[in-house]
Amino acid sequence: MSAVSAVMVYGLSACDTVKRARQWLDAQGVQYHFVDFKKTPPSAAQIAAWAEAAGWDTLLNKRGTTWRKLDAATQASVVDAASAVAVLAQYPSAIKRPVVEGGKVLLVGFDAPQWSAALLGQAPRQVSA
């Protein structure tokens, strides 16, 4: 049973990380609603809220294809939260995926132990060497 109700998952349906994250959610029995950025891009206000909560540098996926394909001037223009939000609103595929909202939880990117703690209320397991 999920510790967090009303989970929203944002991303791209074709993204491998989003696919893995959704499979994990299904395996854990977490009910969620998926929003595809291509069909329903997030608003600038929503991106700004994510950037404030998680940090704009966390939200911006500089390792992704979308970012790497942007011209150098656009990349160089991203120096703070406001400039990052402007670029991410124009290029939502440059947002690190998935973004998960649920209650007071905001997760950016897929990390199973972190998700277990945040969404299921389970502490990450400590592995001793």
Answer yes or no: do 53 and 90 share one domain: yes
pTM: 0.87
Q: What is the CATH number of the domain that holds 21?
A: 3.40.30.10
Q: In whole angstroms, what separates CA 1 from the centre of its chain? A: 22
Does the pLDDT value for residue 4 go beyond 60? Answer: no
User: Does an H or E element contain 100, and which?
Assistant: strand 99-102
Split into its structural domains, the chain has a count of 2
Answer yes or no: do 84 and 105 share one domain: no
CB atoms within 10 A of CB 47: 23
Answer yes or no: do 21 and 53 share one domain: no
Q: pLDDT tens across 62-86, in order?
A: 999 999 999 999 999 999 999 999 9
Q: pLDDT tens across 75-129, in order?
A: 999 999 999 999 999 999 999 999 999 888 999 999 999 999 999 886 554 444 4
User: Does an H or E element contain 94, and which?
Assistant: none
Q: In whole angstroms, what separates CA 71 from the centre of its chain? A: 23
Both tokens of residue 65?
A: 């294809």
Residue 31 lies in domain: 1-37+97-129
Average confidence score pLDDT of the chain? 91
Q: What are the catalytic residues? A: 15
Classify strands 32-36 and 99-102 as parallel, antiparallel or unpaired. unpaired
